[in-house]
Amino acid sequence: MNEVDKKILTLLQDDFPLVSRPFLETSEKLGIPEDEIIDRTRVMMESGVIRRFSASIGHRKLGITANPLLTFKVPAERVEEVGEKLSAFDEVTHCYERSTVPGKWEYNVFAMVHGYDRKAVEKTVEKIAREVGVEDFELLYSTKEFKKTYKRYA
């Protein structure tokens, strides 16, 4: 990523222009041709520096209010398999293996699950737990959102 790429990201990571030709607007601001901005953006998408070109939804506003963190205690040799199985569920938006703190926190595979209400989510969780075949898990509902922001990376 060079300085020009950084400038593009700086302009387009939050306030993406909602206009017919957004890259043309950026091109005028940066003094770089529109085609070059499009090409560079494509390259950054291919390399994975840009993860998505999309919207983030205020899901709570849409009534998706049951958003628990589901944590499983998975033996090391099954982590890969369980992670992949969990990821296949549409209701799971994030899935990670995380470090543990022996004696205090031994759940190593985390999945974020979303649903319209707790009843629906509990059904989903039952289905998920059965599918992955891990009995030791915890379901941690969020009871309040204090902060949700996005850090600027460029």
Partner 1 sequence: MELDDIDKKILVELQGDLPVVKRPFKEIADSVAISEDEFFTRVKRLQKEDIIRKFGLRIDSEKVGFKSTLIAMKVVPERLEETADRLSGYDFVTHNYARDHEYNLWFTVIERDESALRKAIERIEREVEYDDMLNLPVRRKFKIDVRFDIK
Site for partner 1 in 33-72 (CB under 8 A): 34, 38, 41-42, 44-45, 47-59, 61-64, 69
- Rounded to whole angstroms, the Cα distance separating 105 from 98 reads 11
Which of 114, 121, 125, 128 binds partner 1 (CB under 8 A)? It is 114
How many Å apart are CA 57 and CA 107, to the nearest integer? 29
Q: How far is the CB of 130 from partner 1 (least distance, A)?
A: 19
- Of 88 and 130, the one with the shorter C-beta distance to partner 1 is 88
**Is residue 3 a contact residue for partner 1 (CB under 8 A)?**
no
CB of 146 to partner 1, least distance (A): 4
Q: Does 106 bind partner 1 (CB under 8 A)?
A: no
E strand or H helix at 137, and its extent? strand 137-140
Binding partner 1 (rule: CB under 8 A), the pick from 4, 28, 33, 94 is 94
Nearest CA among 37, 43, 35, 127 for reference residue 90 = 127
Contact status: 98 vs partner 1 (CB under 8 A): yes
How is residue 66 annotated by DSSP? B
Q: According to CB under 8 A, which one of 3, 4, 16, 133 is a site residue for partner 1? A: 16
122 binds partner 1 (CB under 8 A): no
C-alpha span between 78 and 17 (Å, rounded): 45
Nearest to 70 by CA among 99, 94, 102: 94
Asked whether position 26 contacts partner 1 by CB under 8 A, the answer is: no
Residue 56 to residues 13, 110, 138, Cα–Cα distance (Å)? 12, 21, 27
Q: Per CB under 8 A, does 99 bind partner 1?
A: yes
Closest contact distance (angstroms) between CB of 135 and partner 1 is: 19
Could you give the 3-state DSSP secondary structure of residue 109? strand
